[in-house]
Amino acid sequence: MNKLFLPQYDLNMTLLGGQSFAWDFEDGYYYGFTKDKVVKLKLDVETYHDKPLLYWQTYPKKDNFDFVEKYLRLEVNYPQIIKKIQKDKYIKLAIKQYPNLRLLKQDFEETLLSFIVSANNNIRSIRKIIRSMNMKFGKSLNVNGKKIFLFPETEVIANAKLNDLLECKLGFRAKYIKGAAKHLLKTDLSKKVTEMLESDVRNSLLEINGVGDKIADCVLVFGLGFDNVTPLDVWGRRIFEEFYKLDPKMKYGTMRNWASNYFEGYSAWAGQFLYEYIRNHK
């Protein structure tokens, strides 16, 4: 496996904490899947206490550092971001409790379809549903004798029979994920989003049945890397209502904009720390 110096990076919290549903931890390694590849990671903090090493490999194309760098967002100035967002006792407590938590940048289509599965759902159930979809509709790769099923291609989901999707325990989400996949193919949105403004991307996402503000913002953060966006689910709203005393009647967009301004464009990072803190301590 390849290796690189990786300071200030909590792989477990980052990969398994709800930003992505595509990772499993087995036999000391993290295995992640996309539509066309598998990534295998291991962080060694025992041997080199002052220099934690990330062992990594990609499959079937080996040594795809480009992908790993972008996915793990290794290019960001993490200390600068942490310094910027430490504005009050709550975020300081959250950072102290969950040091080295990071944000991922995943494939746009996979992020959108995965977060449609997340509607009115919990992390454990989401992960189970997605793996069921992988087995039914995705391809598979053999990684060192281990068979791993990949996320289904968007076209496969779009053309799938509704009853087959329902067999994956999608429930009411089945028609939404199928409709979203068809919409992506029809509009070619995936090729346009990287050149679009945040507001235009959000408006385009909100045109898709089954996509509301929260899912759209999750896609903006975890699929496109917009650092100034905070997805506001039940926990997200509770953060700003309880900690920052914002009016519970405040509109979604107004609360999101308040957070973006308060954390000076890094509310995605602050929001993730606070989300983990309030979810595990309240």
Nearest-CA neighbor of 85 among 258, 273, 232?
273
5 phi/psi in degrees, rounded to 5: -70, 125
Q: Identify the pLDDT of residue 198.
A: 95
230 phi/psi in degrees, rounded to 5: -120, 115
Rounded percentage of the chain residues whose pLDDT exceeds 90:
91
**Helix (H/G/I), strand (E/B), else coil: 207:** coil
Residue 49: which pLDDT band, with cuts at 50, 70 and 90? Answer: low
Q: Identify the pLDDT of residue 281.
A: 75
Q: Identify the pLDDT of residue 189.
A: 96
247 phi/psi in degrees, rounded to 5: -65, 125
219, pLDDT greater than 80 = yes
- 108-222 CATH pick, 3.30.70.3420, 3.40.50.11310, 1.20.1260.10, 1.10.340.30: 1.10.340.30
By residue count, the chain amounts to: 282
282, pLDDT greater than 70 = no
Tens-digit pLDDT profile for residues 18-37? 999 999 999 899 999 999 99
Q: Identify the pLDDT of residue 134.
A: 98
48, pLDDT greater than 60 = no
Average pLDDT, stretch 179-205? Answer: 96
- Going from the C-alpha of 145 to that of each of 63, 66, 148, 185, 200, the distances in angstroms are 19, 25, 10, 34, 44
Nearest-CA neighbor of 269 among 257, 259, 281, 254?
259
Residue 66: which pLDDT band, with cuts at 50, 70 and 90? Answer: very high
Q: Give the number of other Cβ atoms within 10 Å of residue 168's Cβ.
A: 23
Q: Identify the pLDDT of residue 280.
A: 80
Q: Identify the pLDDT of residue 46.
A: 67
Q: Identify the pLDDT of residue 279.
A: 82
Q: What's the pTM value of the predicted model, to 2 decimals?
A: 0.94
47, pLDDT greater than 90 = no
Tens-digit pLDDT profile for residues 181-190? 999 999 999 9
What letter does residue 225 receive in the DSSP assignment?
A: -
The Cα–Cα gap between 245 and 129 comes to 36
| Architecture of the domain delimited by 2-75 | 2-Layer Sandwich (3.30)
Tens-digit pLDDT profile for residues 133-182? 999 999 999 998 999 999 999 999 999 999 999 999 999 999 999 999 99
The Cα–Cα gap between 127 and 120 comes to 14
- Give the burial class of 207: count Cβ atoms within 10 A of its Cβ; 0-12 exposed, 13-18 middle, 19 or more buried: exposed
Tens-digit pLDDT profile for residues 224-246? 999 999 999 988 999 999 999 99
Average pLDDT score, the chain? 95
Structure tokens at 254: 């107004």
